């Protein structure tokens, strides 16, 4: 055993002693398993692809009970071995790639629904979002919004690494008040404690990439589950499509779940849309509750659009739920045929949103067709998107960011790997104090969010992006 350990780890950490401490708990030193679990979907970024390559854990540990988790944490702290927590590994900033080796804590076996009551579901960290949805729909409820990776992502991975998704056009995003009811975390101490973070305090563990405690349970609010109709509406003109999307997003009387505007030729770049979208047409992909269908079709008609596809959720001719063709998922679909296409993460917020998008479009549309999801942030309808461009260099990407900013967009950095430089989290002194209290030795996903800003590892060429709160608070 010790030979294997030393061979794999260059004896960076006292893994032999750690293994003895956690005897009976599933762990592996298999190089292939370690390689697989040390990756997420960061390859979506050409910058992260090169910078995170080869960063690996030394051991993968998979606890199945709270007691096992406590033993793992206690031993890791005693031996000063870092822990990087992982759900399904579907995040796209590389935020579950261990920067300093150590333990990869696979939480997927710690799963199961804890409770469902009117308006709320509580589940263990490793529960798949899709399993939560299946369970709550039995009693007529669904999550307010979910990531487009719902079929693979865990609930803890979503709240620790995600932002929003289908449903966000109505309910906002994870950082909006009330969208996370509670998060239970285990502290990274020799005597681990369980803390219940409720209401606004749940934000301490949101978007911190597993650096502010190991999430053990999550409680999310629920809303009525409607039978959803997926529809693709086509327009010959892009700005008309934007106008329709913005109008639909603001239709509080129409029960809608997705409003995503994609400029031509995006529908051609997505293979599964072949034969559905007429040549030269931009599209708005939507999900509408069946009781709102009549009002929706009247709106489409009044705006000059044409419904080119309509089907029950998950039954469309494109072979997957329509929500797997929007948000970050649209790029993943495009990269199947055009792997060099890339994105930055722009946000458009203005009283006249169509005008702002028109200005950004006029400035940057030569990079490639634009994508935009309509979501709510702080109650306002906001556009989130950018052109799909063919990646050439980091300088090209920085120029695109600057041009979008000049036209009035805010841009966050989707090509970096730590909490501060992604720029999507407001970090107050309370957040830093919480981090210090739950992880006193700095062992949780080190490099991603340290007490001292200067200790964060910067795994990306710096882009001239904005911090979240400068224009979106």
- The footprint of ligand FAD (CB under 6 A) covers 40-41, 44, 84-92, 95-96, 107, 125, 147-149, 153-154, 156-158, 160-165, 209-210, 214-215, 327-329, 332, 445
Block residue for tokens 């029960």: 255
- Kindly state the smallest distance separating residue 333's Cβ from ligand FAD, in Å: 8
- Which among 375, 310, 380, 368 has a CA at the least distance from the CA of 342? 368
Buried b (16+ CB within 10 A) or exposed e, 199-228: eeebbbbbbbbbbbbbbbbbbbebeebbeb
The least CB distance from residue 196 to ligand FAD, in Å, is 14
CA distance 383 to 19: 49
Closer by beta carbon to ligand FAD, 234 or else 460: 460
Tokens found for residue 112: 């199961």
Of 349 and 448, which CB lies nearer to ligand FAD in the complex structure? 448
For the CB of residue 114, give the shortest distance to ligand FAD in the complex, in Å. 14
Q: How far is CA 387 from the centre of its chain?
A: 19
Nearer to ligand FAD, 84 or 136 (CB): 84
* Cβ closest to ligand FAD, residue 145 vs residue 367: 145
| 232 and 284 Cβ atoms separated by less than 8 Å | yes
Candidates 135, 146, 194, 195; CA nearest to 170 is 146
Nearer to ligand FAD, 235 or 389 (CB): 389
Question: CB of 297: closest distance to ligand FAD in angstroms?
Answer: 27
- Min CB(44)–ligand FAD separation in Å: 6
Residue closer to ligand FAD, measured from CB, 153 or 410:
153
Contact 58, 102 (CB under 8 A): yes
Q: Minimum CB separation from ligand FAD for residue 260, in Å?
A: 11
Pairwise CA distance, residues 294 & 289, whole Å = 10
Token duo for residue 466: 């904005």
Q: How far is the CB of 265 from ligand FAD (least distance, A)?
A: 20
Comparison of 157 and 387: residue with beta carbon closer to ligand FAD? 157
| Closest distance of CB 281 from ligand FAD, Å | 24
- Residue 261 contacts by C-beta under 8 Å, 6 or more apart in sequence? 241, 242, 244, 245, 282, 283, 284, 370, 371, 372, 373, 374, 385
What distance in Å separates the CA atoms of residue 471 and residue 259, rounded to the nearest whole number?
22
Residue of this chain nearest to ligand FAD (CB atom): 157
3-state class (DSSP) for residue 287: strand
Q: Which is nearer to ligand FAD, 73 or 277 (CB)?
A: 73
Handedness of CA 238, 242, 247, 252 (dihedral sign): positive
């Amino acid at each position: 055993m010790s030979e294997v350990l030393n061979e794999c780890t260059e004896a960076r950490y006292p893994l032999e002693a750690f293994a003895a401490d956690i005897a009976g708990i599933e762990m592996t030193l298999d190089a292939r398993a370690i390689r697989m679990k040390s990756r997420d979907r960061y390859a979506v970024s050409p910058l992260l692809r090169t910078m995170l390559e080869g960063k690996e854990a030394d051991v993968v540990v998979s606890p199945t009970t709270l007691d096992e988790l406590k033993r793992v944490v206690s031993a890791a702290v005693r031996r000063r071995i870092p822990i990087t927590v992982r759900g399904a590994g579907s995040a796209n900033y590389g935020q579950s790639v261990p920067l300093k080796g150590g333990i990869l804590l696979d939480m997927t076996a710690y799963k199961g629904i804890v409770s469902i009551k009117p308006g709320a579901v509580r589940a263990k960290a490793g529960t798949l979002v899709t399993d939560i949805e299946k369970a709550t729909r039995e009693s007529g409820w669904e999550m307010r919004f979910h990531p487009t990776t719902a079929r693979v992502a865990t609930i803890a991975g979503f709240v620790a690494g995600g932002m929003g998704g289908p449903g966000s056009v109505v309910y906002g995003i994870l950082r909006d008040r009330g969208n996370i009811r509670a998060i239970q975390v285990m502290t990274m101490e020799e005597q681990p404690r369980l803390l219940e973070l409720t209401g606004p305090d749940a934000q301490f563990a949101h978007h911190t990439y597993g650096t502010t405690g190991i999430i053990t349970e999550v409680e999310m609010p629920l809303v009525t589950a409607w039978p959803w109709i997926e529809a693709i509406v086509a327009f010959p003109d892009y700005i008309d499509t934007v106008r329709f999307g913005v109008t639909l997003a603001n239709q509080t009387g129409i029960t809608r779940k997705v409003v995503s505007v994609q400029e031509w030729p995006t529908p051609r770049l997505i293979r599964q849309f072949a034969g559905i979208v007429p040549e030269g047409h931009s599209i708005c992909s939507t999900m509408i509750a069946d009781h709102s269908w009549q009002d929706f079709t009247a709106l489409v008609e009044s705006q000059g659009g044409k419904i080119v596809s309509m089907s029950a959720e998950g039954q469309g001719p494109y072979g997957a739920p329509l929500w797997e063709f929007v948000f970050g998922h649209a790029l993943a679909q495009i990269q199947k045929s055009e792997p060099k296409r890339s994105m930055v993460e722009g946000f458009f917020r203005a009283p006249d949103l169509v005008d702002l998008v028109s200005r950004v479009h006029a400035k940057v549309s030569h990079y490639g067709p634009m994508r935009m999801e309509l979501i709510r942030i702080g109650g306002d309808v906001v556009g989130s998107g950018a052109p799909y461009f063919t990646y050439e260099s980091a300088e090209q990407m920085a120029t695109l960011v600057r041009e979008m900013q000049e036209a009035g967009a805010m841009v966050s950095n989707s090509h970096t790997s730590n909490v501060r430089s992604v720029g999507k989290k407001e970090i107050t002194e309370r957040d830093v104090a919480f981090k210090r209290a739950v992880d006193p030795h700095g062992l949780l996903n080190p490099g991603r969010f340290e007490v001292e800003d200067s200790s964060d590892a910067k795994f990306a060429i710096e882009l001239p992006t904005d911090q979240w709160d400068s224009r979106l608070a």
